[in-house]
Amino acid sequence: MGFTAKKVRGMRDVLPPESEKWIYIQKVMGDSASFFGFMSVRTPIAEFTELFCRSAGETSDVVQKEMYTFEDKGGRSLSLRPECTAGTLRAVIENESSLIFPVKLMYFGPCFRYEKPQSGRQREFFQFGLEIFGGSSVMADFEIIRTADYIFKKLGINDIILEINSMGCEDCRKNYRNSILNFFNEKVNKLCKICQERINKNPLRILDCKEKTCQEICSEAPSIVDFICNNCKEQFEELKSYLEITEIKYKVNAHIVRGLDYYTKTVFEFTINTNGYDLTVCGGGRYDGLSKKMGGQDLAATGFAIGIERVISIMEEQRIEFPKLKSRGLYIVCLNKESKICAVKIAEELRESGISVDLNLTEQSIKSQAKFADKMGYRYLLILGENEINKGVCNVKRMSDGIEFEIAIDDNFCDNFINKCECIL
């Protein structure tokens, strides 16, 4: 039976012109983060499995159900990263001596989770994220949120809502956990099967369940805001004051707990209502205790991640125009050996002057090449046929209106070309 190349389920190809949207979004996000002082970091796609077990939590859905885990030839358990925070923090811990704290980092790359493919979330999905390490002040939480808000405004996304909450410190969470455990134990038979399993493992996760029956029960659950200590309350009020100063609209949502175990104190989500359903576009918060849990120093940390596929989907739904593809400069049509040699020389000279040039890569007729150039959006067509070579000229056609003119192939060719072909640079 013959082999037929086929992509893996839950993973997709991104080809032109869609790929241009990705490039644009990554540039806007990267430029925005740089504007706020963030620097780029890259980490491996695969890490030791224990890294994610320690960071996300043994009882998390990510660790229990969704990770791509495999054993390498050395018998070590590795996993494709399900998110980027753990790997970024691992890199900071291992390279601590070469960094100046507080350090502000940004990343962009693929993550992998084995779950049912759905709109805006495939098994391979891309995240853009920011992390601040060593920023113990509430100002770090504000800067993270402010940068995310700035990015969404730059992209032109409308009707996005910031929801914030405080999960309190470790002591606050212990008290709240006991209260929430008692509450859900009284309603255990009404919860979905997954949440029934969560009760003794991690009852806070029930608050994050998307099942309608569980959401109705959670609406009556005790609020963590009533359990946080005075210090955590003061910090939460401080964050709100910064948001109000900068006129960033927000609402407090006491049921935001995020899906990973490492979050403490500030947590937040940027959501948008699409087709009657609240979709999370960006999520993050503070995770001060994670570094120590992973063998590093006691390091304050806060960050967020944005799903690129969801951003594109929302922008398309809101009919936000992506910048049009930059018009291609010049396409050179040539057929025989002599004209090809001449084309290479011309292309080299023009490229050195900063002009984008593409050469004919086929043996097609001049007419076919001209049709190709038109479809691809080239602004100018330069033809080197037998007649042109014999006369020592090239024929240039402006594609927008069909106007043609000749340029002598001599020592002044490049200057003459630039003067006649306005706005091509």
**Minimal CA–CA distance to 108: which of 20, 42, 19, 13?**
42
Q: What is the mean pLDDT of residues 36-64?
A: 83
18 or 212, which is more confident: 18
Helices marked H in 95-226: 138-155, 170-185, 193-201, 212-218
| pLDDT tops 80 at residue 118 | no
What single DSSP character describes residue 225? Answer: G
As given in the structure block, the two tokens for residue 29 are: 């996000």
| pLDDT tops 70 at residue 57 | no
Q: What is the mean pLDDT of residues 58-64?
A: 60
Share of residues in the chain with pLDDT > 90 (%): 56
As given in the structure block, the two tokens for residue 375 are: 């479809």
**Minimal CA–CA distance to 188: which of 211, 208, 212, 214?**
214
195 or 144, which is more confident: 144
| pLDDT tops 60 at residue 2 | yes
**Minimal CA–CA distance to 28: which of 280, 325, 311?**
311
Instruction: Kindly give, in sequence order, each residue whose CB lies less than 8 Å from that of residue 12, ignoring residues fewer than 6 positions away.
Output: 122, 124
Q: What is the mean pLDDT of residues 212-216?
A: 84
**Minimal CA–CA distance to 178: which of 222, 208, 236, 225?**
222
As given in the structure block, the two tokens for residue 314 are: 């929302």
416 or 274, which is more confident: 416
Pairing of strands 301-307, 277-286: antiparallel
To the nearest 10°, the Cα dihedral for 49, 50, 55, 60?
A: 70
Q: What is the mean pLDDT of residues 360-366?
A: 85
DSSP E strands: which ranges in 189-275?
A: 250-252, 264-274
pLDDT, mean over the chain: 89
pLDDT band at 120 (very low <50, low <70, confident <90, very high): low
Lowest-pLDDT choice from 83-97, 220-234, 257-271, 339-353:
257-271
Residue 418: predicted pLDDT: 86
| pLDDT tops 80 at residue 119 | no
